[in-house]
Amino acid sequence: MGRLIIGVIRLALELLAIYAVWRWVLPEVDMELPFFLLVLAMVAWVSFSMFRFVLATRALRTPETPGLPSPVGSLGRVQTPLAPQGTVRIKGETWPAILVEGERAEVGDEVTVMDMDGLRLSVRPVHPAE
Q: Could you tell me the pTM of the whole model?
A: 0.49
Residue 130 has pLDDT above 60, yes or no: no
Three-state DSSP at 102 gives: coil
| 89 contacts 113 by C-beta, under 8 angstroms | no
Percent of the chain with pLDDT over 90: 64
Determine the average pLDDT of the residues in 29-51. Answer: 94
Is the bond leading into 84 cis (omega within 30 degrees of zero)? Answer: yes
Which sequence spans correspond to the domains of the chain? 2-61, 75-125
> How far, in Å, are 38, 44, 47, 69, 83 from residue 53 at the CA level?
22, 14, 10, 30, 54
Between CA 109 and CA 85 the distance in angstroms is 14
Residues 1-13 pLDDT 10s: 888 899 999 999 9
Confidence band for 78, pLDDT divided at 50, 70 and 90: very high
* Record: fold of 75-125: OB fold (Dihydrolipoamide Acetyltransferase, E2P) (2.40.50)
Between CA 98 and CA 33 the distance in angstroms is 71
Name the pairing type of β-strands 120-125 and 93-99: parallel
Between CA 54 and CA 105 the distance in angstroms is 51
